[in-house]
Each structure stands twice: as C-alpha cells, then as structure tokens.
Structure 1
Amino acid sequence: MNTYQKELIKATIPILRESGEDLTHYFYARMFTAQPELRNMFNMGNQANGRQKSALANAVLAYAENIEDPSVLIGVLKGIGTKHRSLNIQPEHYKIVGTHLIASIGEVVGEAATPEILDAWTVAFYQLAQIMIDLEKRLYEENAAKPGSWNGWRKFVIKKIVPESSEIKSFYLYPEDGKEIADFQAGQFISVQVFVPELDLLQPRQYSLSSAFNPEYYRISVKKESGLAPNPSGLVSNTLHAKAEGDVISISAPAGLFHLEKDSQNPLVLISGGVGLTPMLSMLETNLMSFQNKKTIWIHGCRNESVHAFKNQLTEIKKEAKHLETFIFYDTIETDDETSNQIIKGRVDLHKCKEAILLEEAKFYICGPEMFIKTQYETLLSLNVNQENIFYEEFGPQLINLN
C-alpha cells in the first residue's frame, strides 16, 4: 500500500465516524441477499440487535485510523481471529466479505467514493484480510496439534442437563465418537452450533466452559434469554433449554484469550455479574484442583437468590478452600437478615470490599454485561489497580476497548 493510498484511506475517516454503522448495516443486508447461506455462520441475534454492525463499524474505523501501522491492532485482531477459528472461518470467506464491503462503500458513500478511494480501500482490505488469514492459519495449526483437538465442528451428546437456577441450566457434553477431547485453559469458551426452527437456520453461539477440565466431557451453563421472534437474540439459548438428554449438538474446540495465566502464583479476584460467573467458576475449580491454592476473592452480583446459579456449590467449595473469600450482591433480598446469609444488598460495589481485594500483585478478572464490565474496570482503576492486571471478557461482538 503506497503513501497516496494511505492518505486516501485517512481522508475517509470523517465519513466512517459519521456514517460507519449505516455502511455496515447496508453491507450485511447486501451480503446476506447475495449469499443467504452465510446466515448459517453469523449470529443473527447480533444482526438483529445491531451489535455486529457496531462492532464492524468500529473495526473498520480503527483500521483506517491506524493505517500507517496496523500492527498496533494486533491484540484486537488476535481476539477476532480466535473467534473466527472457533467458527471455522476460512480464507474464501474474506473474498466474499471484501467484494460486498467495497461495493457497499461505493453504493453508500456515492460520488465521494471516487475510483481512487475504492481502489485504496480494496488494497487496504485485502492487506488486512491477509494479516487475518495468516494469523488464523497459525491458530488452526496450533489447535490441530493439541491432543484430542479438532478444527471445524464435532458432534457431542448431551448426556446430562442440570438446572442451576431459575434461568440457567448446565449441559454436560460428551464426544459422540468416544474419542479424546482437548484440554482447555480456565476461562475459555466453545462455540455451539444448533438448528433453530424459528429461523430455519443453523446458528452458532459462544459459551464459556463452566468447570475445570474433565477428560470425559465439557460443561457449559446457559442462561435462557428472553428475546424471541421477531428478535432472534434469545433463540439459541431457548433452543438449548428445550433439548433433552441424549440429544446431539455440534461444537468447536475450546478457544479464547480470556483465561487464567498458567502456573501464575498471583492472588485472584474474580468479579462477575449474572451468567458472567461461568468462566469464573472454571477458574475457581481449576485453582481448587491445583496445588497452588492462591488467595482468591469471589465477587458476584445478580438480581436475587432465585437466579443465583451455583450458590450451593460455592458454599461447598468455600468449606474446603480456606484461601477463598466471597462477596455476593443481590439487587433484591427477600429476607431482612442480610448478615447471616452473607449477602450484600444492591449492585456490585467494589468499594464495599476494597480492603479484601487490594492484594499485592493480584490479577483481576471481570465478566458480565457491557456496563457491568465498564463500571468494575473504572472502579478498579480508581482504586489504583494496575491496568495491566485487569482482564475482562465481553460476551458477543467486541464493543469494549478499555486496555
């Protein structure tokens, strides 16, 4: 990419800032009209709620703003590539996306999108695509080299379903072929693919693994979301909750950059909201099974006791784990006796447990809804926690960029 083309790309930044989401909305509609089979690969819930178009608009803008040195985006690109590996995205998909994205720029921007600008964006896109293809090639190779791992989709049998709260169920997934399964790092996720009759489509979703590694099965714990047709946001979770023991689903091998650091001796502070406790439970169990038994602070918030998943399991773990301290927040409490139940009324407020969490060299992990993550992250910074020691997992397309 030459200097003139880079200047043309930078000249489009104001347009992207003002109309980026209009562009990406048009792009997805154009691509799905021309290639309807791709709707089986994309999360149509995120298409309906606008999160996917926002994420793509932010990514295109960030690329334009850093066109002089795209390497500064490598952390973000690695996260996207990891998600792509779990969804079995292949190099040919980039050509499809490129064709429709460049055409969309021309059709949405109109006369301002001169042939020179479209040529510059074509070069820019395929430069980025090659970065992603090369990155994902390495991820596929690394994944294939792991014992028990696989690329693409593999069938698993739901052998056990356990209600964990009024809205969360755990699914124990065993390989249909009976062969070895891959180990994972606590905090990682798998992609699940199910057929959704209401959409007449296969749909993928990512769910955190909610237990320490067991060589016989994977466990995910899924909240039944309330969004039904015409909004497909909750259709996959509802489809899963309607499954029975013995049913078969397809999953991809474990993936994800949000996980415990292997062999780290640092104290842990695990902060979760709602179903965001699932990767934290994997971390907690993994720590319990290790010989390290690092000092661990468990902080969790949810609406009330009925939706509090794994509360009995946490109680049992706490009896065994002397290194564990817990702080539980409920929006509403049905009993007046907060103290005996060790429950704090209200939303998670880290100031209420700051004496416990401000441990030397502690690592902080946050998972939950977008505003929950932002609130806890900003609170930790206000408490002078080193930014490099804070990690977070955002469910769905990446819209948060705090580090």
Structure 2
Amino acid sequence: MPLSPQTRSIVKACIPALEAHGLDITKEMYRRLLDNENIRDLFNMSHQKNGDQPKALAFAVLAYARHIDDPTALKDMIERIAEKHVGLNILPEHYPHVGTALLGAIAHVLGDQATPDIMNAWKEAYGFLADVLINREQQIYSAHAAEKGGWTGWRAFRISNRHEETADTVSFTLSPVDGQSVMKHHPGQYLSFKLTIPGTGTERRNYSISSAPSDAQYRITIRRQDKGVVSNWFHDHAREGDVLDVSAPAGDFTLHTPARRPLVFITAGSGITPIMSMLDTVTADSSRPSIHLIHNTKTPESEIFAIRTHDLAARGLITADIFYSQMNTLPPRTQGINFHTGRLTSSWLKNHDDREADFYICGPTEFMTTVIQALRDQGIPKEQIHYELFGSASDPFLVTQA
C-alpha cells in the first residue's frame, strides 16, 4: 500500500529537522538498540565506536525523506542495504525492534516538536520502507536457497588453506564441512561471518571473495586493521582446520558489462581483493575485452596479489599501471606494466581515461571519492562507474553517486 499524501507531506516537512538533528537521532536509536542483547550481536561494534554506522543511517533516513514522493530513486541504496542484511542474516522479526528504537529516538531528540501527527507519519513511513526491504531480502534468500550449492542461514566452513600474501595481508581458502557444493558467487561479492571472539563476544563481519567463482570453495583475503578486532583475530588465531560460520555470498558490486566494453579496474591497498575475483574471471574468457588495472600501494612489498597480476600482464592478458606512494626509485620494468612513484592523481587519470570503458573502483573512501570525481569531471557516464563501499556507507558523496 502506498504512503498516504499526509504522511509524505509531514515527512518532507521534517527534512530541516533531520538535517539539523539526524545524527543525534540515529545515535540515540543505536543506543536503544544496543541495550538489547539479541539485537546487539547483529551490529559491527567497530562501526559504532568510530561513528560510521550512525552517520550512514542518518544519511539514509535523510535521503528517504528527500525522496519520499518517489522512493524508486533510492533503489540502488535499498539494494545495497538488502544485500548487506542478507549477508548478516537479518530477518523480518528484527525490524520491529529497529522501528521501536527509531521512533523512540525521534521522540526523545525532537521533544515537544514530535507531535502525534509527526510520530504517526514516521511510523507509517518506516513500516513502508521495512516492507520494501523485507520483501527484497526474502527474494534474495529464496534465490540463494534455490541455487545449486546455495543455502540460507549460517553454514559451517573449514579453513583448508592459509596463505600469507604480504606482511599484513592473509588469504584463507574455505571449504564446506558437509563436503557438498557451494553456490558460485558473482565476482565482487563478499562472504559474511559470525564469530565468537574471547573477551569480545559475538561479532559479524563481511570480507570480499578474492577468488574466481567455484562450486567447491571460496577464498577471502584480509588485511590487518589497526585495532580491528576481527581482522586481528583472523591474523593471530585463525588456522587451517578451524571451522567458521558463513552465510551465502552477497553484495551488489559485481561485474556487468553487457556491451563487452573495455574494463578499467582502479584500486588501492586491499581494495584489490574483490577486483582480483573479477580479474581472474574475465581473463579466463577467450572473448574478453581489453583490461587495464591501475593499482595503488605503498611499496612492492605491500602489493597484494603482485605475483598474480604481474603474471597476467606478462602474458598479455591485462595492462597495468602500478603506483608506489612510498618509493623514490622504481622496480625493474616488467612486461605489460608501467611503474610510477607517488600516488595516482586526477590529472594522470585525465590523460589516460577511456570513455568507452566500464570502471570498477575499490579502495579507501578518500581514494574512491577522488577517482570518481575525476571520472565524472571527464564526462564518464554514471552508469559506467561502479565501486564497492566497504563497511558502513557513511560518505554522502559516495552514496549519492551510487
């Protein structure tokens, strides 16, 4: 059932209040939610501590209010949220808890301004959005259950191989304990994990799949993060033979090149992780388009998947430009690769763009913002720019560009 005209009018009238107090509302909402032990375990507490999750939700609520007359404009944001929820195994019964906390937070922060009409309007608006998400998530769950090797909920996987990629990056190959097949992921997707960490409790995280699609196993690649509870646990404690709870592949950052356009992959640091899955997929295709990798890292020693990407370049399957931000001298020239000192710049991109290409971008927020802005300034259509938002989508520019 569509929202009533009165509700839409009231929600739009609340936009100035959301602009002024939206973050206060979402912080209060999460405070209420996290008092519930059954709900607290669903959230990434690191994103609570650094404020990313409240910021992301505040922006999402404001975007919803601004587009309340036509929420279809938010379809990409809704799809991204639905995929993340599916990865974390969010279920319909969780939504009433969120609604109660959100409405309570609105009333608490706005005080006397939160009239009965305003509260009723937001109750209806939240219920409408919750139904949209629940329906989409159920579609994804059903698709996972129906797919060969697919599953819903948590499935036990054993670490069958651990490989040190660099000093601070490790890859883990995961094989299902039941010995059955697994659903082939779409290159660029991630796996979500439910972990019990001593001294911390239950944590849920998602990590990009770095291998090409397979019906037998997955590989994830994890870079150690400063004060990262889960990444440090993987590095310090996860060993071959350990069993982990894993949900089916999810995520909307995937390859889609219907016109077989040239491909340009632009990455920084561990942002190459989901891109590696794409590279291994497209380079195995005999009818592949031209493929260009632009990667940014500190030094050759920090370059994740260097052996693999350099081999692809040497075999003529890709061309590459590698930027070393902490190097004054360059490594010996390698076939198919141009090495550079310093960081990738907007001016360099301007001189090396391909207007016919699809661009896939992954890296730190500031890096992606710079790259996407440079491409947009050059007139690259929005539809040809694709990127992954790691963690909570708390950067307004990236969310609106997506």
Check if 1:371 corresponds to 2:366.
Answer: yes
Q: Which runs of 5+ in 2 are unaligned?
A: none
Contact 1:327 1:353 in 2 (8 A): no
Partner of 1:390: 385
Cα distance in 2 for residues equivalent to 1:262 and 1:190? 23
**More moved, 377-386 vs 45-54:** 377-386
Contact 2:349 2:374 in 1 (8 A): no
Cα distance in 1 for residues equivalent to 2:348 and 2:5? 53
Select which of 222, 235, 244 maps to 2:239: 244
Partner of 1:221: 221
Cα distance in 2 for residues equivalent to 1:94 and 1:241? 34
In the superposition, the TM-score normalised over structure 1's length comes to 0.93
Check if 1:340 corresponds to 2:342.
Answer: no
The percentage of aligned residue pairs carrying the same residue is 36
In the superposition, the TM-score normalised over structure 2's length comes to 0.94
Contact 2:192 2:206 in 1 (8 A): yes
**Aligned ranges 1:2-401 → 2 under 5 Å:** 2-33=4-35, 35-199=36-200, 201-227=201-227, 234-242=228-236, 243-261=238-256, 265-320=260-315, 322-333=316-327, 336-337=329-330, 340=333, 342-349=338-345, 351-352=347-348, 356-358=352-354, 361-399=356-394, 400-401=398-399
**More moved, 364-373 vs 68-77:** 68-77
Cα distance in 2 for residues equivalent to 1:337 and 1:223? 24
* Aligned partner letter, 1:24: T
Contact 1:294 1:323 in 2 (8 A): no
Residue 192 of structure 2 aligns to a residue whose secondary structure is strand
Partner of 1:230: none
Cα distance in 2 for residues equivalent to 1:337 and 1:70? 50
Contact 2:346 2:370 in 1 (8 A): no
For residue 105 of structure 1, report the CA deviation from its aligned partner. Answer: 0.9
Q: Deviations over 1:198-225 (max 9, x none)?
A: 32x2211111110112332100000010
* Aligned partner letter, 2:229: L
Residue 361 of structure 2 aligns to a residue whose secondary structure is strand
* Aligned partner letter, 2:341: K
Cα distance in 2 for residues equivalent to 1:346 and 1:207? 28
Contact 2:158 2:241 in 1 (8 A): yes
For residue 378 of structure 1, report the CA deviation from its aligned partner. Answer: 1.1
The 3 A distance-change label for structure 1 pair 226 and 260 is same
Cα distance in 2 for residues equivalent to 1:370 and 1:63? 23
Contact 2:44 2:203 in 1 (8 A): yes
Q: Deviations over 1:262-296 (max 9, x none)?
A: 66522110000110001111111101212223210
For residue 356 of structure 1, report the CA deviation from its aligned partner. Answer: 4.8
